[in-house]
Amino acid sequence: MSFRSDVVEVGSDAAQSHGQTDTSSHDHSLARRSNNCPTNTWLQESFLQTVNNAERIAAGGPRPGVGIFGIGLLDTHINRTPTMHSACDALPAFDHASAPTAPRYLGWRQKVATWPAASPPKRINDPAYDPNPSNTQTVTMAPPSEQPAEHKKVNLMDASGAEVKDQDDTATAILKKKKKPNQLMVTDAVNDDNSIIALSENTMEALQLFRGDTVLVRGKKRKDTVLIVLADDELDDGSARINRVVRHNLRVKHGDMITIHPCPDIKYAKRIAVLPIADTVEGITGSLFDVFLAPYFREAYRPVRQGDLFIVRGGMRQVEFKVVEVDPPEYGIVAQDTVIHCEGEPIQRDEEENNLNEVGYDDIGGCRKQMAQIREMVELPLRHPQLFKSIGIKPPRGVLLYGPPGTGKTLMARAVANETGAFFFLINGPEIMSKMAGESESNLRKAFEEAEKNSPAIIFIDEIDSIAPKREKTNGEVERRVVSQLLTLMDGMKARSNVVVMAATNRPNSIDPALRRFGRFDREVDIGIPDPTGRLEILQIHTKNMKLGDDVDLEQIAAETHGYVGSDVAALCSEAAMQQIREKMDLIDLDEDTIDAEVLDSLGVTMENFRFALGVSNPSALREVAVVEVPNVRWEDIGGLETVKAELQESVQYPVDHPEKFLKFGLSPSRGVLFYGPPGTGKTMLAKAVANECAANFISVKGPELLSMWFGESESNIRDIFDKARAAAPCIVFLDELDSIAKARGGSVGDAGGASDRVVNQLLTEMDGMTSKKNVFVIGATNRPEQLDPALCRPGRLDSLIYVPLPDQPARAGILKAQLRKTPVAGDVDLDFIASKTHGFSGADLGFITQRAVKLAIKEAITADIQKTKAREAAGEEAMDEDEEDPVPELTKRHFEEAMQMARRSVSDVEIRRYEAFAQQMKNAGPGAYFKFPEGDAAANQAANNFGDAGNDDDLYD
């Protein structure tokens, strides 16, 4: 392959190569780019007339009616016509003090200045330049006393009904896109040209553009390019047609917004350097310049932008090139004397893909408010430091991000760096530590020096807790010196050096407190676990490039992934896609080099794949907890206990499924339920069923497992359990054998310094600390309710005390049917008869009967198989007939009769009476069924009598 440098021969027929129109509009465009301004005289006359008008108004004379002669609108006209700057510079300055009544004139001037058009003029090459041509229309101005009310300043602190912004709107104001006339929506191009942007006639007129004008187009992630404007009569107003290559360069897709800025001062490029993308030139042996570049640029006057890609078609192939250098820098027009260099090694696709995969704000979901805080603390100081200077404060220096792993802390920092165009310097905490004395501090200093040289810059310290622990708790001298060095570096940063320090950790309380004061890390942002809306945003981001089936309901998946962080959602999508590939493995031959196109087209992730992925994945925040699951027990698996089921649904399932009802009545949902009753009545199974029915995470905690021999460890275990439950809300914490950790306080003499009492205290404070917003529900189970601490059973902690009794006869029949619903049972087996003969049996006792019957059937089947095998061996037969009849196809009466002989009750009558007495005592503690409001006249008379009695009670000395 040969590359060479050459000079492009360019004719004057530029318009024809683009399919452009008549030369009159092109000449008009050239006239607008000219440095000569024929309007100097007119502007000076207008200015003098403006001054005369102002003096006449100040003296009480008549006011002019047309706004083009007002000084405020003259500024606007100059600002909106960039080519008139040379004329504007020649205008004489107006001395406000020389006006006859300066205060009155100044008042009018300031009133006009509050209109949207009164911003100071800016040069076209100013990156902040933003034309707003809708304000150039002729406007009739009213005198100061007659200014329209909507233009007046609104005092947000005014209590007289003035408009006050909502607090949430103010907090996220930085995220709101400002509506601008030059902001257009991207649609697909009809003319597939890399240098063209097509606009409607009305849009071009509103933006004061002409066919053939060169414009600067800004996209996302600080990307921009230069294009030539053409008119499209079929295009809607407010839209712009650009082809796939331009969309790639601007990092936008269909439906995204771009902004257009006139670029009249673009110069002809002296030389440009372009290189091909390696995988598009494989097999090409001829001259790339002659075959591709020369025809592409010849007589075209194409604008190019450094860093842009473009595709050239020629010789039955298309080759992708990248503009690696432009002289003069940034952008220029390739003219007839522009030198095009194309020698050098082709660019690898991987390098270009890495640039394309830079993360931006659109790649982050589920943390809208946190993103607003980070942008106002980081992006504002880097992009507009004059804001802080004008208001008289120093810009923030540092932001600390904290939260569980996988929530996107590092991703946010990279997004801010990419979107602001700032230099990004990453410091991984453990990497800067060194065994050599002083080297760790030196690494830190070098990082800060490098960032200041490349400002604006962001220094991101990941896992900052590893290099900046609390100095009083660390034994290493190196860590203390590193913390001190970091403190001095952050204090020593120049006030406006355009360097912001960001740090991330999931253990914020392990960081030295000196770092967390104002002036160092000014703001601490909690990147928490996203809510269902946030999870839906994250799902949409991770599935935007996935091929999804029509049955996939992302909203449903978001609602079922409680406690999932961003990385968990990404893992879920990956697992669902892998499951789809596994299902197609029978169509894929691993030994072949290629896969059939039909197989690739048939791949598509379905809702069933997501269901599978949900079954095998758990929230990462809960992986340390011993038993975390969404159980597979359903209400139909539990026989009987209908009253208990109904009460559980009201207490647990209603707050999760119908939160709006609780908001309507202003009621906080219950926080806990205590199951008490004999062993084996289904208390644990009830807790699992309610967790499954309301799709909540389920943490099962065995009481004795929380206790530890180390001082304070038991309380810490309880605290960790509740912290994780709050992080994965809605979550049900099931405390089995609650009496083992929550016995009545005061009776544990000699118990390791009162460890049991401290555990109870910790449990009480954790349950009081749970807010209703967190949707954490506690279910306790015990078969010794009288031993529990009374403070645990009061309303506000374990609100409902539910007695789970032994099942009655219909409930026993229901339990037997539920346990045998997947077991073949003979039709003559009467389960109701078994239920009538098992009075006093618990659910576990009935389970023993069914298990025993099944074991007997299995034993009988195995014995029959062994006898048949021996008989065949004796007869000399080799193989067993597959159609041979099953000797034991189902459970029969005989199996149950034999199982009943081994059955026994696990709960005695004495224990049952004790439970019933406790339940009756709980009922009798209140007014019960005897409480009723009095009705009619009796209510009024009783109220009057009660009032009289109350009055007598107040006289203490009668």
How far apart (Å, rounded) are the C-alpha atoms in residues 216 and 795? Answer: 67
Where, residue-wise, is CATH 1.10.8.60 in the chain?
Answer: 532-622, 809-877+887-907
465 has pLDDT over 90: no
Rg of the chain, C-alpha, whole Å? 39
Query: How far is it between the farthest Cα atoms of the chain?
Result: 133
Length of the chain: 958
What is the token pair recorded at 648? Answer: 């559980």
What is the token pair recorded at 244? Answer: 């796939």
Fold of 271-356: Vcp-like ATPase; Chain A, domain 2 (3.10.330)
pLDDT at 928: 58
Query: pLDDT over 90 for what percent of the chain?
Result: 7
pLDDT at 576: 92
pLDDT at 12: 40
How far apart (Å, rounded) are the C-alpha atoms in residues 259 and 183? Answer: 4
Residue 778 burial (CB count, 10 A): 27
pLDDT at 572: 92
Amino acid at 241: R
DSSP codes, 565-610 = -HHHHHHHHHHHHHHHHHHTGGG--TTSSS--HHHHHH--B-HHHH
Residue 478, beta-bridge partner list: none
What is the token pair recorded at 82? Answer: 């960039």
pLDDT at 942: 55
How many distinct helices (H) and strands (E) make up the chain?
36, 24
780 has pLDDT over 60: yes
Fold of 532-622: Helicase, Ruva Protein; domain 3 (1.10.8)
Strand order in the sheet with 339-341: 6-7, 339-341, 271-276, 317-327, 309-314
pLDDT digits (tens, 9 = 90+) for 188-218: 777 778 899 999 999 998 898 988 899 999 9
pLDDT at 260: 92
How far apart (Å, rounded) are the C-alpha atoms in residues 477 and 484? Answer: 11
Measured in whole angstroms, the distance separating CA 497 from the mean position of its chain's CA atoms is 31
- Residue 352's pLDDT band, with cuts at 50, 70 and 90, is low
pLDDT at 216: 93
Where, residue-wise, is CATH 3.10.330.10 in the chain?
Answer: 271-356
List phi, psi (to 5°) of 602: -80, -15
- Residue bearing the bigger pLDDT, 261 or 878: 261
pLDDT at 927: 63
Query: pLDDT over 70 for what percent of the chain?
Result: 73
Fold of 809-877+887-907: Helicase, Ruva Protein; domain 3 (1.10.8)
Which residue's structure tokens are 């990248």?
Answer: 322
Nearest to 787 by CA among 742, 732, 830, 818: 742
What is the token pair recorded at 562? Answer: 């409680």
pLDDT at 38: 40
Query: In this structure, which CATH number among 3.40.50.300, 3.40.50.2020, 2.40.40.20, 3.20.20.80 belongs to the domain 183-262?
Result: 2.40.40.20
Distances (CA, A) of 665 to 396, 453, 660, 669: 43, 60, 9, 11
- Residue bearing the bigger pLDDT, 113 or 237: 237
Helix (H) / strand (E) element for 108: namely helix 102-113
Fold of 628-803: Rossmann fold (3.40.50)
Distances (CA, A) of 158 to 147, 152, 170: 20, 14, 17
Kindly tell me the sign of the dihedral angle through the C-alpha atoms of 399, 405, 410, 415.
Answer: negative
- Residue bearing the bigger pLDDT, 300 or 876: 300
How far apart (Å, rounded) are the C-alpha atoms in residues 374 and 410? Answer: 12
What is the token pair recorded at 954? Answer: 């107040």
- Residue 403's pLDDT band, with cuts at 50, 70 and 90, is confident
Nearest to 502 by CA among 476, 479, 521, 477: 521
How far apart (Å, rounded) are the C-alpha atoms in residues 467 and 481? Answer: 10
pLDDT digits (tens, 9 = 90+) for 141-158: 444 434 444 443 334 344
163 has pLDDT over 80: no
How far apart (Å, rounded) are the C-alpha atoms in residues 686 and 637? Answer: 10
pLDDT digits (tens, 9 = 90+) for 518-566: 888 888 998 888 888 889 999 998 888 788 888 889 998 988 888 888 8
Q: For residue 286, give the DSSP letter.
A: S
- Residue bearing the bigger pLDDT, 644 or 932: 644
227 has pLDDT over 90: yes
pLDDT digits (tens, 9 = 90+) for 68-127: 333 333 333 333 333 334 333 444 444 444 434 333 333 333 333 333 333 344 333 444
Give the class (CATH, top level) of 361-523.
Answer: alpha beta
- Residue 753's pLDDT band, with cuts at 50, 70 and 90, is low
pLDDT at 774: 67
Helix (H) / strand (E) element for 675: namely strand 672-676
Provide the H-helix boundaries in 361-426: 368-374, 380-383, 385-391, 409-420
How far apart (Å, rounded) are the C-alpha atoms in residues 411 and 367? Answer: 12
- Residue 51's pLDDT band, with cuts at 50, 70 and 90, is very low
pLDDT at 947: 46
Nearest to 70 by CA among 84, 51, 55: 51
795 has pLDDT over 60: yes
